[in-house]
Structure 1
Protein backbone atom coordinates (compact mmCIF):
# COMPACT_ATOMS: atom_id res chain seq x y z
CA UNK A 1 0.00 0.00 0.00
CA UNK A 2 1.37 3.43 -0.92
CA UNK A 3 1.78 6.24 1.60
CA UNK A 4 -1.11 8.05 -0.13
CA UNK A 5 -3.40 5.03 0.32
CA UNK A 6 -2.38 4.68 3.96
CA UNK A 7 -3.18 8.35 4.55
CA UNK A 8 -6.60 7.87 2.94
CA UNK A 9 -7.32 4.90 5.22
CA UNK A 10 -6.55 7.03 8.27
CA UNK A 11 -8.78 9.84 7.00
CA UNK A 12 -11.64 7.37 6.47
CA UNK A 13 -11.20 6.10 10.05
CA UNK A 14 -11.16 9.66 11.42
CA UNK A 15 -14.26 10.59 9.41
CA UNK A 16 -16.30 7.54 10.46
CA UNK A 17 -15.31 8.09 14.09
CA UNK A 18 -17.26 11.37 13.81
CA UNK A 19 -20.29 9.65 12.20
CA UNK A 20 -21.29 6.70 14.40
CA UNK A 21 -24.49 6.10 12.37
CA UNK A 22 -22.33 5.48 9.31
CA UNK A 23 -21.80 6.95 5.83
CA UNK A 24 -22.24 5.60 2.31
CA UNK A 25 -19.30 5.33 -0.08
CA UNK A 26 -20.70 8.33 -1.99
CA UNK A 27 -20.86 10.40 1.20
CA UNK A 28 -17.32 9.42 2.22
CA UNK A 29 -16.07 10.27 -1.25
CA UNK A 30 -17.74 13.70 -1.29
CA UNK A 31 -16.77 14.73 2.26
CA UNK A 32 -13.11 13.72 1.79
CA UNK A 33 -12.92 14.80 -1.87
CA UNK A 34 -11.71 11.34 -2.93
CA UNK A 35 -12.59 9.86 -6.35
CA UNK A 36 -15.63 7.61 -5.85
CA UNK A 37 -14.05 4.65 -7.70
CA UNK A 38 -10.94 4.53 -5.50
CA UNK A 39 -13.04 5.23 -2.37
CA UNK A 40 -15.20 2.22 -3.22
CA UNK A 41 -12.17 -0.07 -3.54
CA UNK A 42 -10.64 1.25 -0.32
CA UNK A 43 -13.83 0.92 1.71
CA UNK A 44 -14.62 -2.56 0.37
CA UNK A 45 -11.11 -3.76 1.28
CA UNK A 46 -11.49 -2.42 4.83
CA UNK A 47 -14.96 -3.99 5.04
CA UNK A 48 -13.75 -7.44 3.89
CA UNK A 49 -11.03 -7.36 6.57
CA UNK A 50 -13.47 -6.34 9.35
CA UNK A 51 -12.00 -2.86 9.82
CA UNK A 52 -15.41 -1.52 8.78
CA UNK A 53 -18.93 -2.86 9.08
CA UNK A 54 -22.05 -1.96 7.06
CA UNK A 55 -25.82 -1.92 7.64
CA UNK A 56 -28.52 -2.86 5.09
CA UNK A 57 -28.45 0.72 3.73
CA UNK A 58 -24.73 0.19 2.93
CA UNK A 59 -23.73 2.80 5.45
CA UNK A 60 -20.23 2.00 6.67
CA UNK A 61 -19.13 2.27 10.30
CA UNK A 62 -15.95 1.45 12.20
CA UNK A 63 -15.64 -2.32 12.52
CA UNK A 64 -14.81 -4.94 15.17
CA UNK A 65 -11.16 -5.32 14.14
CA UNK A 66 -10.49 -1.76 15.33
CA UNK A 67 -11.92 -2.60 18.75
CA UNK A 68 -9.48 -5.52 18.97
CA UNK A 69 -6.53 -3.35 17.90
CA UNK A 70 -7.58 -0.52 20.19
CA UNK A 71 -7.82 -2.92 23.12
CA UNK A 72 -4.35 -4.29 22.40
CA UNK A 73 -2.93 -0.77 22.12
CA UNK A 74 -4.61 0.27 25.38
CA UNK A 75 -3.29 -2.80 27.19
CA UNK A 76 0.24 -2.15 25.94
CA UNK A 77 0.05 1.52 26.89
CA UNK A 78 -1.27 0.75 30.37
CA UNK A 79 1.35 -1.93 30.88
CA UNK A 80 4.26 0.28 29.84
CA UNK A 81 2.96 3.16 31.99
CA UNK A 82 2.64 0.80 34.96
CA UNK A 83 6.11 -0.60 34.43
CA UNK A 84 7.93 2.66 33.71
CA UNK A 85 9.01 3.52 37.29
CA UNK A 86 10.35 -0.01 37.78
CA UNK A 87 12.19 0.08 34.44
CA UNK A 88 13.80 3.42 35.27
CA UNK A 89 14.97 2.08 38.62
CA UNK A 90 16.41 -1.02 36.90
CA UNK A 91 18.29 1.12 34.37
CA UNK A 92 19.75 3.30 37.13
CA UNK A 93 20.93 0.21 38.99
CA UNK A 94 22.50 -1.70 36.10
CA UNK A 95 23.47 1.33 33.96
CA UNK A 96 22.47 -0.40 30.72
CA UNK A 97 19.54 0.03 28.32
CA UNK A 98 16.25 -1.47 29.50
CA UNK A 99 13.30 -2.56 27.32
CA UNK A 100 9.74 -3.79 27.65
CA UNK A 101 7.87 -5.61 24.88
CA UNK A 102 4.54 -7.31 24.30
CA UNK A 103 3.42 -10.03 21.92
CA UNK A 104 1.17 -9.12 19.00
CA UNK A 105 0.09 -12.32 17.23
CA UNK A 106 3.52 -13.91 16.65
CA UNK A 107 5.66 -10.76 16.61
CA UNK A 108 7.51 -8.95 19.34
CA UNK A 109 6.52 -5.27 19.70
CA UNK A 110 8.58 -2.88 21.84
CA UNK A 111 6.49 -0.67 24.14
CA UNK A 112 9.20 0.98 26.28
CA UNK A 113 12.90 1.78 26.13
CA UNK A 114 14.96 3.43 28.88
CA UNK A 115 18.47 4.35 27.77
CA UNK A 116 21.45 4.80 30.04
CA UNK A 117 24.20 7.39 29.63
CA UNK A 118 26.53 4.72 28.28
CA UNK A 119 24.05 2.85 26.10
CA UNK A 120 25.07 1.54 22.69
CA UNK A 121 23.26 1.98 19.38
CA UNK A 122 20.41 -0.47 18.78
CA UNK A 123 17.65 -0.65 16.19
CA UNK A 124 15.05 -1.56 18.84
CA UNK A 125 12.61 1.31 19.46
CA UNK A 126 9.09 1.58 20.91
CA UNK A 127 6.53 0.71 18.25
CA UNK A 128 8.95 -1.40 16.23
CA UNK A 129 8.66 -5.17 15.92
CA UNK A 130 11.29 -7.90 15.79
CA UNK A 131 11.34 -11.69 15.41
CA UNK A 132 10.85 -13.87 18.47
CA UNK A 133 13.57 -16.47 17.90
CA UNK A 134 16.62 -14.19 17.91
CA UNK A 135 15.88 -11.62 20.64
CA UNK A 136 16.04 -12.02 24.40
CA UNK A 137 12.54 -10.59 24.78
CA UNK A 138 11.15 -12.79 22.03
CA UNK A 139 12.71 -15.90 23.50
CA UNK A 140 11.21 -15.00 26.88
CA UNK A 141 7.78 -15.33 25.24
CA UNK A 142 8.73 -18.57 23.49
CA UNK A 143 9.95 -19.91 26.83
CA UNK A 144 7.15 -18.88 29.17
CA UNK A 145 4.00 -18.85 27.00
CA UNK A 146 1.37 -21.54 27.70
CA UNK A 147 2.28 -24.75 25.83
CA UNK A 148 -0.56 -24.58 23.29
CA UNK A 149 0.26 -21.00 22.27
CA UNK A 150 3.99 -21.71 22.23
CA UNK A 151 3.48 -24.79 20.04
CA UNK A 152 1.30 -22.86 17.60
CA UNK A 153 3.92 -20.11 17.17
CA UNK A 154 6.86 -22.52 16.92
CA UNK A 155 5.11 -24.59 14.24
CA UNK A 156 5.03 -21.56 11.92
CA UNK A 157 8.40 -20.09 12.89
CA UNK A 158 11.04 -19.64 10.19
CA UNK A 159 14.55 -19.31 11.61
CA UNK A 160 16.45 -17.08 9.22
CA UNK A 161 20.02 -15.92 9.94
CA UNK A 162 20.38 -12.27 10.97
CA UNK A 163 23.91 -12.42 12.42
CA UNK A 164 26.54 -15.18 12.42
CA UNK A 165 25.26 -16.25 15.85
CA UNK A 166 21.55 -16.50 15.01
CA UNK A 167 20.11 -19.93 15.82
CA UNK A 168 18.69 -21.40 12.60
CA UNK A 169 17.87 -24.98 13.68
CA UNK A 170 14.59 -25.50 15.52
CA UNK A 171 15.98 -28.34 17.64
CA UNK A 172 18.76 -26.04 18.90
CA UNK A 173 16.20 -23.37 19.77
CA UNK A 174 14.00 -25.86 21.64
CA UNK A 175 17.00 -27.08 23.63
CA UNK A 176 17.83 -23.50 24.54
CA UNK A 177 14.24 -22.77 25.60
CA UNK A 178 14.32 -25.77 27.96
CA UNK A 179 17.41 -24.29 29.61
CA UNK A 180 15.70 -20.90 29.93
CA UNK A 181 12.73 -22.50 31.70
CA UNK A 182 15.07 -23.88 34.36
CA UNK A 183 16.98 -20.64 34.90
CA UNK A 184 13.95 -18.32 34.72
CA UNK A 185 15.29 -15.90 32.10
CA UNK A 186 16.32 -15.89 28.43
CA UNK A 187 19.46 -14.79 26.60
CA UNK A 188 20.23 -13.20 23.23
CA UNK A 189 23.95 -13.62 22.59
CA UNK A 190 24.58 -11.33 19.57
CA UNK A 191 21.84 -13.18 17.66
CA UNK A 192 19.95 -10.10 16.47
CA UNK A 193 22.63 -7.40 16.52
CA UNK A 194 26.38 -7.94 16.54
CA UNK A 195 28.02 -6.97 19.82
CA UNK A 196 24.71 -6.80 21.71
CA UNK A 197 24.05 -9.16 24.63
CA UNK A 198 20.61 -9.26 26.17
CA UNK A 199 19.02 -10.81 29.26
CA UNK A 200 15.21 -10.96 29.45
CA UNK A 201 12.54 -12.05 31.92
CA UNK A 202 8.75 -12.58 31.80
CA UNK A 203 6.12 -10.29 33.31
CA UNK A 204 2.99 -12.17 34.42
CA UNK A 205 -0.57 -10.88 34.76
CA UNK A 206 -3.52 -11.61 37.00
CA UNK A 207 -4.33 -14.76 34.98
CA UNK A 208 -0.85 -16.16 35.74
CA UNK A 209 0.25 -16.00 32.07
CA UNK A 210 3.02 -13.93 30.51
CA UNK A 211 1.77 -10.47 29.50
CA UNK A 212 5.07 -8.79 28.63
CA UNK A 213 8.80 -9.24 28.88
CA UNK A 214 11.54 -6.90 30.06
CA UNK A 215 15.22 -6.95 29.23
CA UNK A 216 18.61 -5.42 29.89
CA UNK A 217 20.87 -5.04 26.85
CA UNK A 218 24.40 -3.80 26.34
CA UNK A 219 27.86 -4.62 24.96
CA UNK A 220 28.60 -8.30 25.55
CA UNK A 221 31.88 -7.86 27.46
CA UNK A 222 30.38 -5.27 29.82
CA UNK A 223 27.21 -7.30 30.37
CA UNK A 224 29.11 -10.49 31.20
CA UNK A 225 31.21 -8.70 33.83
CA UNK A 226 28.09 -7.94 35.89
CA UNK A 227 25.76 -10.68 34.60
CA UNK A 228 24.98 -12.13 38.04
CA UNK A 229 23.92 -8.74 39.41
CA UNK A 230 21.91 -7.89 36.28
CA UNK A 231 20.03 -11.20 36.37
CA UNK A 232 19.15 -10.68 40.04
CA UNK A 233 17.85 -7.14 39.47
CA UNK A 234 16.09 -8.12 36.22
CA UNK A 235 14.14 -10.95 37.86
CA UNK A 236 13.32 -8.76 40.86
CA UNK A 237 12.00 -6.00 38.58
CA UNK A 238 9.97 -8.42 36.48
CA UNK A 239 8.32 -9.77 39.62
CA UNK A 240 7.63 -6.26 40.96
CA UNK A 241 5.91 -5.27 37.69
CA UNK A 242 3.99 -8.56 37.67
CA UNK A 243 2.70 -7.96 41.20
CA UNK A 244 1.76 -4.37 40.31
CA UNK A 245 -0.60 -5.63 37.56
CA UNK A 246 -2.25 -8.28 39.72
CA UNK A 247 -0.03 -11.36 39.57
CA UNK A 248 0.03 -13.46 42.73
Structure 2
Protein backbone atom coordinates (compact mmCIF):
# COMPACT_ATOMS: atom_id res chain seq x y z
CA UNK A 1 0.00 0.00 0.00
CA UNK A 2 1.37 3.41 -0.97
CA UNK A 3 2.36 5.71 1.87
CA UNK A 4 0.18 8.82 1.68
CA UNK A 5 2.05 10.91 4.23
CA UNK A 6 2.67 14.54 3.34
CA UNK A 7 5.93 15.55 1.68
CA UNK A 8 7.44 19.01 2.08
CA UNK A 9 8.93 20.76 -0.93
CA UNK A 10 7.82 22.60 -4.05
CA UNK A 11 4.11 22.33 -4.89
CA UNK A 12 3.45 19.31 -7.07
CA UNK A 13 6.91 17.88 -6.43
CA UNK A 14 7.77 14.35 -5.29
CA UNK A 15 10.78 13.11 -3.34
CA UNK A 16 11.94 10.95 -6.26
CA UNK A 17 11.67 13.77 -8.76
CA UNK A 18 13.41 16.23 -6.47
CA UNK A 19 16.19 13.74 -5.73
CA UNK A 20 16.65 13.10 -9.44
CA UNK A 21 16.80 16.80 -10.18
CA UNK A 22 19.36 17.33 -7.43
CA UNK A 23 21.54 14.52 -8.76
CA UNK A 24 21.32 15.92 -12.30
CA UNK A 25 22.34 19.38 -11.13
CA UNK A 26 25.26 17.94 -9.15
CA UNK A 27 26.41 15.99 -12.21
CA UNK A 28 26.29 19.08 -14.38
CA UNK A 29 28.19 21.10 -11.77
CA UNK A 30 30.93 18.47 -11.58
CA UNK A 31 31.20 18.35 -15.36
CA UNK A 32 31.59 22.14 -15.45
CA UNK A 33 34.21 21.96 -12.70
CA UNK A 34 36.19 19.42 -14.72
CA UNK A 35 35.96 21.52 -17.88
CA UNK A 36 36.96 24.72 -16.08
CA UNK A 37 39.94 22.95 -14.53
CA UNK A 38 41.57 23.02 -17.97
CA UNK A 39 41.31 26.83 -18.00
CA UNK A 40 42.70 27.28 -14.48
CA UNK A 41 46.04 25.52 -14.94
CA UNK A 42 49.01 26.51 -17.13
CA UNK A 43 49.45 22.86 -18.19
CA UNK A 44 48.26 22.05 -21.71
CA UNK A 45 47.13 18.55 -20.71
CA UNK A 46 45.76 16.94 -17.56
CA UNK A 47 45.52 13.40 -16.30
CA UNK A 48 42.60 11.79 -14.55
CA UNK A 49 44.42 11.57 -11.21
CA UNK A 50 45.40 15.27 -11.33
CA UNK A 51 41.82 16.31 -11.97
CA UNK A 52 40.41 14.01 -9.30
CA UNK A 53 42.84 15.26 -6.67
CA UNK A 54 42.33 18.92 -7.56
CA UNK A 55 38.54 18.69 -7.43
CA UNK A 56 38.20 16.16 -4.63
CA UNK A 57 36.12 13.64 -6.60
CA UNK A 58 36.76 10.02 -7.48
CA UNK A 59 38.76 8.97 -10.53
CA UNK A 60 35.81 6.90 -11.68
CA UNK A 61 33.60 9.99 -11.69
CA UNK A 62 36.25 11.97 -13.57
CA UNK A 63 36.48 9.17 -16.17
CA UNK A 64 32.72 9.27 -16.74
CA UNK A 65 32.65 13.05 -17.06
CA UNK A 66 35.61 13.15 -19.46
CA UNK A 67 33.99 10.45 -21.61
CA UNK A 68 30.82 12.55 -21.91
CA UNK A 69 32.80 15.70 -22.71
CA UNK A 70 34.80 13.82 -25.36
CA UNK A 71 31.60 12.72 -27.11
CA UNK A 72 30.67 16.38 -27.51
CA UNK A 73 34.12 17.47 -28.65
CA UNK A 74 34.80 19.61 -25.59
CA UNK A 75 37.72 17.42 -24.48
CA UNK A 76 40.29 15.42 -26.48
CA UNK A 77 42.34 12.41 -25.39
CA UNK A 78 45.93 11.72 -26.45
CA UNK A 79 45.87 7.95 -26.78
CA UNK A 80 49.64 7.63 -26.39
CA UNK A 81 49.93 9.58 -23.13
CA UNK A 82 46.36 9.04 -21.83
CA UNK A 83 46.19 12.72 -21.03
CA UNK A 84 43.37 15.10 -21.86
CA UNK A 85 43.22 18.58 -23.36
CA UNK A 86 40.53 21.03 -24.45
CA UNK A 87 38.86 20.07 -27.71
CA UNK A 88 37.49 21.84 -30.76
CA UNK A 89 34.09 22.17 -29.12
CA UNK A 90 35.59 24.25 -26.33
CA UNK A 91 37.27 26.48 -28.90
CA UNK A 92 33.97 26.98 -30.71
CA UNK A 93 32.32 28.02 -27.46
CA UNK A 94 35.10 30.53 -26.79
CA UNK A 95 34.99 31.98 -30.29
CA UNK A 96 31.20 32.29 -30.14
CA UNK A 97 31.58 34.28 -26.92
CA UNK A 98 34.30 36.51 -28.33
CA UNK A 99 32.26 37.20 -31.48
CA UNK A 100 29.47 38.60 -29.33
CA UNK A 101 31.64 40.96 -27.29
CA UNK A 102 30.83 44.64 -27.69
CA UNK A 103 33.46 46.61 -25.81
CA UNK A 104 31.47 49.86 -25.87
CA UNK A 105 28.40 48.19 -24.35
CA UNK A 106 30.48 46.28 -21.80
CA UNK A 107 32.44 49.39 -20.80
CA UNK A 108 29.44 51.71 -20.39
CA UNK A 109 28.65 50.89 -16.72
CA UNK A 110 32.36 50.82 -15.86
CA UNK A 111 32.77 54.38 -17.19
CA UNK A 112 29.97 55.52 -14.91
CA UNK A 113 31.63 53.88 -11.92
CA UNK A 114 35.04 55.29 -12.83
CA UNK A 115 33.73 58.84 -13.24
CA UNK A 116 31.80 58.69 -9.96
CA UNK A 117 34.79 57.30 -8.10
CA UNK A 118 37.32 59.86 -9.42
CA UNK A 119 35.06 62.89 -9.86
CA UNK A 120 36.52 63.34 -13.35
CA UNK A 121 35.59 62.47 -16.93
CA UNK A 122 35.95 58.80 -17.90
CA UNK A 123 36.43 57.95 -21.58
CA UNK A 124 36.66 54.95 -23.88
CA UNK A 125 38.77 54.92 -27.06
CA UNK A 126 39.15 52.40 -29.87
CA UNK A 127 41.85 52.15 -32.52
CA UNK A 128 41.50 52.81 -36.25
CA UNK A 129 44.79 52.06 -37.98
CA UNK A 130 47.52 54.40 -36.70
CA UNK A 131 44.91 56.59 -34.99
CA UNK A 132 42.48 56.21 -32.13
CA UNK A 133 39.12 57.85 -31.46
CA UNK A 134 36.97 58.51 -28.42
CA UNK A 135 33.79 56.43 -28.69
CA UNK A 136 32.18 57.14 -25.31
CA UNK A 137 32.54 59.34 -22.23
CA UNK A 138 30.90 59.98 -18.86
CA UNK A 139 31.34 63.41 -17.29
CA UNK A 140 31.12 64.22 -13.56
CA UNK A 141 28.58 66.45 -11.85
CA UNK A 142 30.87 69.38 -11.08
CA UNK A 143 31.24 72.90 -12.38
CA UNK A 144 34.59 72.62 -14.22
CA UNK A 145 35.01 69.43 -16.26
CA UNK A 146 36.84 68.05 -19.27
CA UNK A 147 34.81 66.91 -22.25
CA UNK A 148 36.18 65.10 -25.32
CA UNK A 149 35.04 65.06 -28.95
CA UNK A 150 33.77 61.63 -30.01
CA UNK A 151 34.88 60.24 -33.38
CA UNK A 152 37.83 62.59 -33.94
CA UNK A 153 41.04 60.69 -34.87
CA UNK A 154 44.24 61.32 -32.90
CA UNK A 155 47.71 59.90 -33.63
CA UNK A 156 48.97 57.07 -31.42
CA UNK A 157 51.78 59.08 -29.83
CA UNK A 158 49.80 62.14 -28.68
CA UNK A 159 48.12 61.93 -25.27
CA UNK A 160 47.57 59.32 -22.60
CA UNK A 161 44.96 57.21 -24.39
CA UNK A 162 47.03 57.16 -27.58
CA UNK A 163 50.22 56.10 -25.81
CA UNK A 164 48.34 53.42 -23.87
CA UNK A 165 47.37 51.90 -27.21
CA UNK A 166 50.80 52.25 -28.80
CA UNK A 167 52.70 50.80 -25.84
CA UNK A 168 50.78 47.54 -25.92
CA UNK A 169 51.06 46.82 -29.63
CA UNK A 170 53.65 44.30 -30.80
CA UNK A 171 57.28 45.40 -31.06
CA UNK A 172 57.01 45.24 -34.84
CA UNK A 173 53.95 47.47 -34.89
CA UNK A 174 55.58 49.96 -32.54
CA UNK A 175 58.69 50.17 -34.70
CA UNK A 176 56.58 50.58 -37.84
CA UNK A 177 54.77 53.48 -36.23
CA UNK A 178 57.94 55.15 -34.99
CA UNK A 179 59.47 54.80 -38.43
CA UNK A 180 56.82 57.22 -39.70
CA UNK A 181 58.76 60.11 -38.10
CA UNK A 182 58.66 63.06 -37.97
CA UNK A 183 55.84 62.71 -35.46
CA UNK A 184 53.17 65.39 -35.39
CA UNK A 185 52.98 67.84 -32.49
CA UNK A 186 49.49 68.64 -31.25
CA UNK A 187 50.81 70.90 -28.48
CA UNK A 188 54.25 72.01 -27.37
CA UNK A 189 54.14 69.14 -24.82
CA UNK A 190 53.54 66.34 -27.36
CA UNK A 191 56.35 63.77 -27.23
CA UNK A 192 57.84 63.69 -30.73
CA UNK A 193 61.40 62.61 -29.86
CA UNK A 194 61.53 58.96 -30.96
CA UNK A 195 64.15 57.73 -28.44
CA UNK A 196 62.34 59.51 -25.64
CA UNK A 197 58.97 58.12 -26.75
CA UNK A 198 60.38 54.61 -27.03
CA UNK A 199 61.66 54.88 -23.45
CA UNK A 200 58.29 56.10 -22.21
CA UNK A 201 56.45 53.29 -23.99
CA UNK A 202 58.63 50.76 -22.17
CA UNK A 203 57.69 52.41 -18.86
CA UNK A 204 53.99 52.31 -19.76
CA UNK A 205 54.19 48.60 -20.52
CA UNK A 206 55.86 47.99 -17.16
CA UNK A 207 53.39 49.90 -14.99
CA UNK A 208 50.33 49.25 -17.14
CA UNK A 209 49.14 52.81 -17.70
CA UNK A 210 50.05 56.05 -19.45
CA UNK A 211 49.75 59.68 -18.41
CA UNK A 212 49.60 62.95 -20.28
CA UNK A 213 49.96 66.52 -19.13
CA UNK A 214 48.82 68.81 -21.98
CA UNK A 215 50.26 66.52 -24.67
CA UNK A 216 47.06 66.29 -26.74
CA UNK A 217 45.32 69.47 -25.67
CA UNK A 218 46.61 72.46 -23.71
CA UNK A 219 45.20 72.65 -20.19
CA UNK A 220 44.15 68.99 -20.11
CA UNK A 221 45.64 66.00 -18.31
CA UNK A 222 44.82 62.30 -18.19
CA UNK A 223 45.78 58.80 -17.20
CA UNK A 224 44.90 55.88 -19.48
CA UNK A 225 45.12 52.09 -19.49
CA UNK A 226 44.44 49.45 -22.13
CA UNK A 227 41.60 46.95 -22.19
CA UNK A 228 43.27 43.70 -23.25
CA UNK A 229 41.73 40.75 -25.08
CA UNK A 230 42.50 37.06 -24.54
CA UNK A 231 45.73 37.47 -26.52
CA UNK A 232 46.88 40.42 -24.43
CA UNK A 233 46.31 42.89 -27.26
CA UNK A 234 44.63 46.26 -26.65
CA UNK A 235 41.07 46.32 -27.98
CA UNK A 236 40.25 49.62 -26.30
CA UNK A 237 41.62 52.16 -23.84
CA UNK A 238 39.90 53.68 -20.82
CA UNK A 239 41.05 56.98 -19.38
CA UNK A 240 40.33 59.51 -16.69
CA UNK A 241 40.89 63.15 -17.66
CA UNK A 242 40.45 66.56 -16.13
CA UNK A 243 41.73 70.14 -16.05
CA UNK A 244 45.53 70.12 -15.82
CA UNK A 245 46.10 72.05 -12.61
CA UNK A 246 43.46 70.14 -10.65
CA UNK A 247 44.43 66.80 -12.11
CA UNK A 248 48.08 67.04 -11.02
CA UNK A 249 46.96 66.37 -7.46
CA UNK A 250 44.70 63.48 -8.47
CA UNK A 251 46.96 61.40 -10.71
CA UNK A 252 47.82 58.58 -8.33
CA UNK A 253 44.27 58.06 -7.02
CA UNK A 254 42.86 58.24 -10.54
CA UNK A 255 45.47 55.77 -11.81
CA UNK A 256 44.56 53.31 -9.07
CA UNK A 257 40.85 53.47 -9.89
CA UNK A 258 41.65 53.33 -13.61
CA UNK A 259 43.69 50.12 -13.31
CA UNK A 260 40.90 48.42 -11.40
CA UNK A 261 38.36 49.35 -14.08
CA UNK A 262 40.67 48.35 -16.94
CA UNK A 263 41.38 45.05 -15.18
CA UNK A 264 37.68 44.23 -14.84
CA UNK A 265 37.03 45.10 -18.48
CA UNK A 266 40.03 43.09 -19.67
CA UNK A 267 38.77 40.07 -17.74
CA UNK A 268 35.42 40.38 -19.50
CA UNK A 269 37.27 40.51 -22.84
CA UNK A 270 39.07 37.26 -22.05
CA UNK A 271 42.39 38.45 -20.56
CA UNK A 272 43.61 36.23 -17.72
CA UNK A 273 46.90 37.95 -16.89
CA UNK A 274 47.56 39.93 -13.74
CA UNK A 275 46.95 43.66 -13.57
CA UNK A 276 49.84 45.99 -12.60
CA UNK A 277 49.70 48.12 -9.47
CA UNK A 278 50.32 51.82 -9.05
CA UNK A 279 53.83 52.21 -7.66
CA UNK A 280 55.86 55.26 -6.73
CA UNK A 281 55.14 58.96 -7.17
CA UNK A 282 53.96 60.26 -10.53
CA UNK A 283 55.43 63.41 -11.97
CA UNK A 284 54.63 65.26 -15.18
CA UNK A 285 56.42 67.37 -17.69
CA distance in 2, matches of 1:182, 1:168: 21
122, 138, 145: which is aligned to 1:120? 145
Per-residue displacement from partner, 1:22-45 (whole Å, max 9, x unpaired)? xxxxxxxxxxxxxxxxxxxxxxxx
131, 148, 168: which is aligned to 2:155? 131
Judging by fraction of residues, say which structure has more helix. 1
2:195 matches 1:174: no
Quick check: which has more Rg, 1 or 2? 2
Partner SS state of residue 204, structure 2? helix
Kindly report which structure 2 residues correspond to 1:47-62, keeping only aligned pairs within 5 A, or say none.
none
Partner SS state of residue 215, structure 1? strand
Per-residue displacement from partner, 1:101-137 (whole Å, max 9, x unpaired)? 1111111121111111235354x32222112111111
Per-residue displacement from partner, 1:44-76 (whole Å, max 9, x unpaired)? xxxxxxxxxxxxxxxxxxxxxxxxxxxxxxx8x
Gaps of at least 5 residues in structure 1 are: 1-74
Gaps of at least 5 residues in structure 2 are: 1-98, 273-285
2:131 matches 1:103: no
Aligned to 1:192: 216
CA distance in 2, matches of 1:160, 1:104: 17
What is the total number of aligned residue pairs between the two structures?
Answer: 173
Once superposed, what is the RMSD of the aligned Cα atoms?
A: 1.9
Aligned to 2:116: 92
CA distance in 2, matches of 1:158, 1:111: 27
Q: CA deviation at 1:154?
A: 2.0
Partner SS state of residue 106, structure 2? helix
Q: CA deviation at 1:221?
A: 2.2
Q: CA deviation at 1:160?
A: 2.2
238, 241, 253: which is aligned to 1:229? 253
Aligned to 2:90: none
Aligned to 2:240: 216
Structure with larger RCO (C-alpha < 8 A, sep 6+): 1
Q: CA deviation at 1:157?
A: 4.5
CA distance in 1, matches of 2:243, 2:193: 25
Q: TM-score, normalised by structure 2?
A: 0.57
Q: 1:99 to 1:157 in 2, by over 3 A?
A: farther
The answer on whether the counterparts of 2:163 and 2:210 sit within 8 Å (CA) in structure 1 is yes
Q: TM-score, normalised by structure 1?
A: 0.65
The answer on whether the counterparts of 1:113 and 1:125 sit within 8 Å (CA) in structure 2 is no
